[in-house]
Amino acid sequence: MAERIPIASDHAGYELKQHLSRALRELGYEVEDLGTNSPASTDYPDYAHPLAEKVESGEVKRGVLLCGTGLGMSYAANRHPGVRAAVAWAPEIAALARQHNDANVLVLPARFVSEEDGVQILKTWLETPFEGGRHQKRVDKIEASGHEHSGDK
């Protein structure tokens, strides 16, 4: 069975979302489009939170968000426990986000990447495994509350 990947954007990411949804289907993934459904102005948290909830609950392993800079979507998604939403503007950033941070939500800055670059970033993120090892300790510390992560434990 194909992995289901939810994808969502605000108005700034709408066109690139449509393009990446097609690319995901061509790569053999099941796409769950959580909106927006037009380029009309919308609020990014309305799309980031539902996608992040699916990752947080374990309903899906990973998801893709898009907005103008990627920043708003990442702020909202990263408020959810267990979600590691990474803004990636180049394939190398997407690879490092997976290798070192086990990023489970890819956030694309739609106003700053071309369709072609967006597809390359997406493919790299999908295909790159988490390296674990010394990085696992660091990822674990992301989920720790403020008083639990002082110093090297």
Question: Is residue 137 in a domain?
Answer: yes
The reply to whether 80 belongs to the active site is no
30: domain CATH number? 3.40.1400.10
Region for 7 from its dihedrals, namely left if φ exceeds 0, alpha if ψ lies in -120 to 50, beta otherwise: beta
Domain extent, residue 112, equals 4-148
pLDDT of residue 90: 98
pLDDT of residue 129: 97
Is the model's pLDDT at 125 over the cut of 50? yes
Catalytic residue among 19, 49, 67, 80: 67
63 secondary structure, DSSP code: E
Catalytic residue among 100, 135, 147, 149: 100
pTM of the model: 0.94
Burial status of residue 70 (CB atoms within 10 A of its CB: 0-12, 13-18, 19 or more):
buried
Question: Is residue 153 in a domain?
Answer: no
The reply to whether 135 belongs to the active site is no
Is the model's pLDDT at 47 over the cut of 90? yes
- Helix (H/G/I), strand (E/B), else coil: 116: helix
Q: Which residues are annotated as a binding site for D-ribulose 5-phosphate?
A: 10-11, 68-72, 101, 111, 134, 138
